Structure 1
């Protein structure tokens, strides 16, 4: 089975890749909360269904299992397969996307920690190799997620083409934004498989966010070069948001010795959702991110 990134772009958005929603992990934690409220206040049954799925994707009820085989059996037996004609339902698709993370977390943690250590050791001295490791890492993660999704589908006797066609059919029926947010929350959630090792303060968090804004506005060499290298064709363009996020994580760690999972732990504090200063900083961060991405559209999208 080929890489998700080698498939058509519209399918890859849901099956593996993301867009600008998850460029910076911390942004999703703040932005997901108002999104859920907005959907909840709408009485439309389709959106209520997606709301319930999204909440489950962000706050899954996990169980401790010993061994991958036992975990796999638990995962596949927890999925209810619902069909609509020859296609599968949004509830089934989302369960597959969500539960695949349970299978991928251990491998994801190994891939992430090993790649971090190796690429950061050469970031300043061997830029070409560093950029390749950034790209290899993100493609590895996307391939890992897809592999686990397809393992589940195979057990449930759902063909890959049926899975993809079901996603595309639902998107054409108006579920595009809901799928986008669900996939963004799922792609973020896998980062929880790496435990935080540091406690950070509110002031440190604000400093990190302000630093990220500064980096995006200044567009340092690492960002400019990797964007130029990825702008050549539609397939590699999909990697730009993920690559930017990875490089930002490296720059933040170099300056503050703080990892993304340390920030995520801080964002579990519900009081932050009501902090006007932090909300303003996050809005500025989002504006800087969209300005960067918008500047690319003229010559690559």
Structure 2
């Protein structure tokens, strides 16, 4: 993937930049590699630094309104200061780690509607910074994430949408300032009791948490959480785990009271422990969004 751009912030005749990714397909926890190719303009300049970052778009609640904001969630300085003569060509090889909590943008080799991640290149010259254009990145699920997604599909859940919510999940060791929600419409056997189920992954190098939120037709919301190693999650019987959880909720949700707000608690409903799941399955108040410093809109 390549983008070519004459840097806006530096005016006509300023340096140009091409960012070439060796491979645009990746997974959480991996590393993107490539080369930044910089071409001098019609006069000598001093490049103060070259920075690469991963960016995405997250939904941010502001009072009663909700809007999108561009969020930078990984950043790497790939070069310090150097002089660039007129017409000179400079190549900078780079490695950019992909955080474990990076949202999935692909499933079965196809784009996940509503999700996008890109690499942004920044050049700083004389205190002016040009952020250039985005180079799209395809983030494929980890094996354990793919197993969960396949289970939802196999159980008859219908994909509805995916987005990123700016905030924190209560009780989860979350590193990024947002979390991904993959929303499904419940299959027909749960209709009238469970309307939608939202799926969130929070991974680290050793383990993954699978967080579920079910929206009851009667107004009650229910939350569940599974935590296990990547290896356990990849081989777990997710159709049984998810199907059993939703079936139990289908009986309980009509008796819940709504506590207000999209992420309200559900009054302490607890399901039985699931075999093979580290720490069992816990239901209760999982989400607790907090006000984070927002990245600027672009």
Per the TM superposition, whether the score is higher than 0.5 is no
Richer in helix (by share)? 1
Larger RCO (CA within 8 A; separation ≥ 6): 1
Q: TM-score, normalised by structure 1?
A: 0.26
Q: TM-score, normalised by structure 2?
A: 0.26
Query: Quick check: which has more Rg, 1 or 2?
Result: 2
